[in-house]
């Protein structure tokens, strides 16, 4: 089974399932594209994504192993911004990228373990609600089921992963309180953006105020989440093997 806990936590589940579900549907289109590509002499092929062995133990967190199978899903996503532009990730950056992804997964695992130790649970109603949200990423039930099958997951597997994601989110919401963003902070951000912006006219402050507020709160939450992870790591047995 392809484990997707880390994908759920980072909001990538729909992307992964959709990609899997689209494999069969797009096979004919791919054949046609391949034919066209062959006809275009000298056209550059899309670079391959670097991966690690799926059975490699990338890290351990209090005895819990994080293996290459899970690692590759996130590592590949990190490289896709280069691949989508037809570029390869500079080789001198690959090791750094691997370490960053591994650190991210360790942090997620620490929070998930802390949530479980706190006895935080996911109700059936909440699991089913989140499941319906995932399904909304597909045109119909048939395509969702096809994507699930392609991902080597049963419905029960998916529900378990969703439950973990709910535990993770509940713990973050319980432990991290975001301070109210002031009007002054939002205006200061807006003015800096105007100064650094292109010649394109900036929208009016009131029009983008909600987005600025959300962005500043997100930055604050990310910073506090990292502080929480650092705190949890001090009392944990963590080994990163990459």
Predicted structure pTM score:
0.77
d(CA 19, CA 239): 32
**Confidence tier at 221 by pLDDT (50, 70, 90):** very high
Residue 225 has pLDDT above 90, yes or no: yes
d(CA 68, CA 159): 22
Residue 6 has pLDDT above 50, yes or no: yes
User: Residue 78: what pLDDT?
Assistant: 84
Q: Can you tell me the mean pLDDT for 215-221?
A: 95
Write the pLDDT tens digit of every residue in 41-79.
445 556 677 899 999 999 999 999 999 988 988 888 888
Residue 11 has pLDDT above 80, yes or no: no
- Residues with Cβ within 8 Å of 134's Cβ and at least 6 positions away in sequence, in order, are 13, 14, 17, 144, 158, 162
Write the pLDDT tens digit of every residue in 131-148.
998 888 888 999 888 888
Percent of residues, the chain, with pLDDT higher than 90: 51
HEC profile of 164-177? HHHHHHHHHHHHCC
Options 1.10.1670.40, 1.10.4030.10, 2.40.50.90, 2.40.50.140; CATH for 5-178 is 1.10.4030.10
User: Residue 9: what pLDDT?
Assistant: 57
d(CA 217, CA 74): 25
HEC profile of the chain? CCCCHHHHHCCCHHHHHHHHHHHHHCHHHHHHHHHHHHHCCCCCCCCCCCCCCCCCEEEEECCEEEEHHHHHHHHHHHHHHHHCCCCCCCHHHHHHHHHHHHHHHHHHHHHHHHHHHCCCCCCHHHHHHHHHHHHCCCCCHHHHHHHHHHCCCCHHHHHHHHHHHHHHHHHHHHHCCCCCCCHHHHHHHHHHHHHHCCCCCCCCHHHHHHHHHHHHHHHHHHHHHHHHHHHHHHCCCEEECC
């Amino acid at each position: 089974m392809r484990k997707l806990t880390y994908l759920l936590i980072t909001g990538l589940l729909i992307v992964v399932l959709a990609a899997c579900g689209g494999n069969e549907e797009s096979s004919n289109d791919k054949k046609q594209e391949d034919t066209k590509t062959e006809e275009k002499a000298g056209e550059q092929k899309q670079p391959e994504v670097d991966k690690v062995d799926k059975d490699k133990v990338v890290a351990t967190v209090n005895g819990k192993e994080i293996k290459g199978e899970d690692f590759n899903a996130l590592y590949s996503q990190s490289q896709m911004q280069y691949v989508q532009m037809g570029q390869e990730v500079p080789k001198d950056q690959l090791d750094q990228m691997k370490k960053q992804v591994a650190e991210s997964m360790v942090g997620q695992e620490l929070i998930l373990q802390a949530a479980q130790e706190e006895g935080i649970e996911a109700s059936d109603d909440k699991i089913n609600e989140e499941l319906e949200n995932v399904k909304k990423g597909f045109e119909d039930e048939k395509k969702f089921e096809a994507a699930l099958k392609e991902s080597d997951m049963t419905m029960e597997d998916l529900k378990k992963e969703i439950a973990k994601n709910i535990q993770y989110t509940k713990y973050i919401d319980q432990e991290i309180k975001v301070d109210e963003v002031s009007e002054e902070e939002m205006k200061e951000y807006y003015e800096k953006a105007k100064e650094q912006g292109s010649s394109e006219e900036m929208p009016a402050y009131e029009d983008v105020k909600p987005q600025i507020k959300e962005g500043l709160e997100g930055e604050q939450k990310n910073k506090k989440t990292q502080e929480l992870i650092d705190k949890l790591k001090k009392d944990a047995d963590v080994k990163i093997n990459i």
